[in-house]
Amino acid sequence: MIWQVVIFAAITGDALGQRRIAPPAPEPQGAMSKSLDLSGAYSNIRSARQEVVRDAKRLAAFWREHAGDSTGMPIPVVDFAKSDVVAVFAGAKPTGGYRVSIDRVKRVGKAAVIEATIHKPGPGAITTQAFTFAFAMKSVPKLPAQVRFKVTEVIDSPR
């Protein structure tokens, strides 16, 4: 019986009176932005696409589309006087193991090229057997009006 209590306490994080540290409170709206750099395996945006977000109103609508009704995901704070947000979505994939990285912003004259990579699981990789919707989004210094995305797919070797 004692070992069951110890296991339960370890799982819940309350072993020997130790409590989990609460995550920091989200920044209030209008606070100075930190750099936005997010990626993950699940987005509510289900199709492959790329996006440039240039103002807070568009970010709010875009974030609702991406996060859906997730209550624990507040809209990021971004200083749009200095930054834009770029995002790349891989679309529906049949397994886990996919990830997206935004690698580089290359300025070419009065235009910019966003270089991104969709990483696919390699042969023999152990993956989750579920549909995933990998994405990445990042705040970058203010972009010119003309932006092009160059998205490359690569196969990752097993780790």
Q: For the chain, what is the mean pLDDT?
A: 83
Mind listing the pLDDT tens digit for each residue in 104-120?
999 999 999 999 999 99
Average pLDDT rounded to a whole number, residues 62-82: 89
Confidence tier at 26 by pLDDT (50, 70, 90): very low
Q: Which pLDDT belongs to residue 7?
A: 35
Q: Which pLDDT belongs to residue 151?
A: 98
Mind listing the pLDDT tens digit for each residue in 8-24?
333 334 343 433 333 33
Confidence tier at 127 by pLDDT (50, 70, 90): very high
Mind listing the pLDDT tens digit for each residue in 30-66?
344 468 999 999 999 999 999 999 999 999 999 999 9
Domain boundary assignment for the chain: 36-155
Distance CA 102, CA 158 (A): 21
Q: Which pLDDT belongs to residue 33?
A: 43
Q: Which pLDDT belongs to residue 34?
A: 61
Among residues 60, 55, 41, 63, the alpha carbon closest in space to that of 136 is found at 41
Share of the chain above pLDDT 70, in %: 76
